[in-house]
């Protein structure tokens, strides 16, 4: 057998075999022994046999070669050997038990490189890597770069796995993560990767109570202001923050957390992010803004944001369904019972965008655009524009599709779509000028068809409103009668009795 000195020397060859990879100091330092190599399984092919004959000293030299091809090949062979038992156990034991910090760092660096290969991850987890890495994060004796590589390794291992995320939380990972993230010194890579681990954990709804109890909402709010020179960081913070907030069960608790976020100047932060060119960042900023809007927290502050309506108008012009959906939903709640803000939105040109939104192939975009039109149509100065830009025609098209048993599939309705359509029709028909404009545009027959079909299904339309609309429709009966037959509608406008409130439709 090899002597202990030879064994230790061979191990140090593994540790010494280094190579620079993508970011700063991704050096590869191998940790295994020639003695262990002899116990490895036989290779299955000639190439494997040849590779196994390469001495460790030679691989160490190749890893420092100027040739990228030679570097890559040597690193691949070293990492393949490192995954074999008992080499892997040696690496894990070094991380867990070595009293020499330098050796622990080199072993953690090796683990980080091994976790990058997805095919290695289950083997590493089965070997106990998660607990060892979490304990490494907790160990105050480890240097910052050891903590960083441990966080990177954990992030790789828990990616896409609910069970592994739960495991690391059970092992106590939240305490060191919180400690790293609340450092007062300038943000560094350890904070970056700690945040990436939190982002992974926030993807599991079952872990949200633990994350919230660990103070992650406040931490994420503070971290969202820091970019780390990385454009992804703000959206990762906001995405995690939104995920935590939307799963809080009690509305009073949600409102408390949202109010608490105001201490972190979250309103101007959101205002800045929704003007970004990065649509993913815009989306998550809007998603957080939406949570404020639906809970009625800080609405006035958001409405007073400089250029908010211009920003919304520009976002609707982008023609991205996932952006339009969240923009319209947020705008709806901001405009409720606020005539001044509705006029501000109209003056910013948002009304011109509704026709395109109402014609969208996305049902949620259609629904929320319809809900916005329902607010705008209350302002008489917009109604002619509403008709002339084709937005009213799109409302009629939606109505016809609903009548044809193709209702909108809105995820969350304030009112059913048909109620919005009925209200819009009644308001438009309240002016004779608008009716004649519709007749000239050949849209009155379709509008009448929608109204007559929906009126039969709408229970809360008052008799006085119904009578007023029917009286207006009756004025155009000769023109409409022929056109309506193609929709299967018969219009009889003759039967008035002293006790009737309007025209009878059969």
Is-contact 68 42, C-beta < 8 A? no
Return the pLDDT at 102.
Answer: 85
Q: Tell me: pLDDT of 496 over 80.
A: no
* Contact residues for 85 (Cβ-Cβ < 8 A; gap 6+): none
Q: Tell me: pLDDT of 485 over 70.
A: no
Return the pLDDT at 36.
Answer: 44
Span 136-140, average pLDDT: 94
Reported as a pLDDT band with limits 50, 70 and 90, residue 457 is: low
Reported as a pLDDT band with limits 50, 70 and 90, residue 6 is: very low
Any idea what the Cα angle at residue 115 is, between residues 110 and 120, rounded to 5°?
A: 110
Is-contact 91 9, C-beta < 8 A? no
Reported as a pLDDT band with limits 50, 70 and 90, residue 454 is: low
Instruction: Indicate the domain borders of the chain.
Output: 350-506
Backbone region of residue 296 per phi and psi (left: phi > 0; alpha: psi in -120 to 50; beta: other values): left
pLDDT digits (tens, 9 = 90+) for 290-325: 999 999 999 999 999 999 999 999 999 987 899 999
Span 279-292, average pLDDT: 95
d(CA 411, CA 30) in angstroms, rounded, equals: 54
Reported as a pLDDT band with limits 50, 70 and 90, residue 29 is: very low
Return the pLDDT at 132.
Answer: 98
pLDDT digits (tens, 9 = 90+) for 153-205: 999 999 999 999 999 999 999 999 999 998 766 568 899 999 999 999 999 99
Span 442-449, average pLDDT: 64
Higher-confidence residue of 346 and 479: namely: 346
pLDDT digits (tens, 9 = 90+) for 197-238: 999 999 999 999 999 999 999 999 999 887 655 678 899 999
pLDDT digits (tens, 9 = 90+) for 72-114: 666 777 777 788 888 889 889 999 998 988 888 888 988 998 9
Q: Residue 452: what are its φ and ψ, rounded to 5°?
A: -65, -40
Lowest mean pLDDT among 4-8, 249-253, 363-367, 433-437: 4-8
* Contact residues for 255 (Cβ-Cβ < 8 A; gap 6+): 295, 296, 297
Lowest mean pLDDT among 52-61, 144-153, 216-225, 487-496: 487-496
* Contact residues for 506 (Cβ-Cβ < 8 A; gap 6+): 490, 492
Question: pLDDT over 70 for what percent of the chain?
Answer: 66
Span 419-445, average pLDDT: 71
């Amino acid at each position: 057998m090899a002597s202990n000195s030879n064994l230790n020397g061979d191990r140090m060859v593994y540790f010494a075999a280094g190579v620079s990879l993508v970011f700063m100091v991704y050096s590869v330092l191998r940790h295994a022994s020639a003695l262990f190599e002899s116990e490895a399984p036989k290779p299955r092919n000639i190439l494997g046999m040849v590779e196994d004959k390469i001495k460790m000293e030679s691989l160490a030299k190749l890893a420092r070669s100027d040739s990228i091809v030679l570097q890559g090949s040597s690193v691949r062979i070293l990492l393949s050997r490192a995954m074999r038992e008992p080499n892997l156990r040696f690496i894990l034991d070094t991380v867990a038990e070595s009293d020499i910090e330098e050796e622990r760092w080199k072993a953690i660096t090796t683990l980080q490189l091994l976790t990058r290969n997805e095919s290695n991850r289950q083997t590493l987890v089965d070997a106990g890597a998660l607990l060892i890495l979490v304990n490494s994060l907790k160990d105050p004796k480890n240097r910052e770069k050891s903590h960083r590589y441990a966080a990177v390794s954990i992030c790789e291992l828990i990616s896409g796995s609910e069970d592994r995320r739960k495991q690391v939380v059970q092992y106590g990972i939240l305490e060191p993560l919180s400690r790293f993230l609340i450092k007062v010194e300038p943000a560094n890579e350890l904070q970056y990767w700690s945040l990436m681990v939190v982002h992974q954990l926030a993807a599991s709804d079952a872990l949200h109570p633990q994350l919230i109890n660990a103070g992650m909402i406040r931490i994420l709010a503070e971290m969202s202001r820091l970019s780390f020179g990385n454009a992804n960081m703000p959206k990762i913070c906001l995405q995690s923050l939104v995920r935590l907030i939307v799963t809080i069960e009690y509305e009073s608790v949600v409102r408390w957390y949202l109010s608490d976020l105001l201490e972190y100047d979250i309103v101007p932060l959101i205002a800045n992010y929704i003007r970004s060119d990065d649509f993913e960042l815009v989306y998550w900023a809007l998603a957080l803004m939406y949570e404020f809007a639906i809970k009625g927290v800080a609405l006035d502050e958001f409405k007073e944001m400089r250029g908010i309506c211009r920003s919304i108008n520009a976002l609707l012009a982008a023609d991205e369904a996932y952006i339009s959906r969240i923009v319209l939903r947020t705008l709806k709640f901001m405009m409720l019972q606020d005539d001044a803000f509705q006029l501000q939105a109209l003056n910013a040109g948002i009304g011109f965008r509704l026709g395109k939104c109402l014609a969208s192939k996305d049902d949620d975009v259609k629904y929320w655009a319809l809900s916005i039109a329902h607010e705008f149509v209350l302002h008489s100065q917009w109604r002619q524009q509403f008709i002339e830009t084709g937005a009213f025609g799109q409302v009629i098209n939606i109505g016809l599709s609903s009548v044809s048993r193709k209702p909108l599939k809105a995820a969350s309705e304030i009112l059913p779509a048909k109620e919005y359509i009925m209200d819009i029709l009644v308001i438009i028909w309240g002016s004779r000028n608008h009716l004649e404009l519709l007749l000239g545009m050949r849209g009155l027959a379709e509008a009448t068809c929608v109204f007559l079909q929906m009126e039969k299904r709408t229970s809360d339309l008052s008799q006085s409103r119904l009578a007023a609309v029917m009286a207006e429709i009756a004025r155009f009966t000769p023109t409409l009668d022929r056109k309506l037959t193609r929709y299967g509608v018969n219009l009889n406008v003759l039967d008035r009795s002293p006790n009737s409130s309007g025209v009878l439709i059969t």
